[in-house]
Amino acid sequence: MVAQRKSGLWHRIHVVKSLLADRETVERYLPENYRVMADQGEHLVVEGHDSHGWTAEGYVLPRLASGLIAAKIVACVPVPGSGWGES
State pLDDT tens for residues 36-85.
999 988 899 999 988 888 889 999 999 999 999 999 999 888 766 555 55
Give the C-alpha separation, 8 to 49, whole Å: 6
**Domains in the chain with CATH codes:** 9-78 (3.30.70.250)
Instruction: Give the pLDDT of residue 83.
Output: 52
Instruction: Give the pLDDT of residue 81.
Output: 59
Residue 47 burial class via C-beta count within 10 angstroms: exposed 0-12, middle 13-18, buried 19 and up? middle
Burial 68-82 (b: 16+ CB within 10 A, else e): ebebeeeebeeeeeb
Instruction: Give the pLDDT of residue 68.
Output: 93
Residues facing residue 48 across a β-bridge: 11, 34
Supply the pTM of this predicted model: 0.78
Three-state secondary-structure class, residue 63:
helix
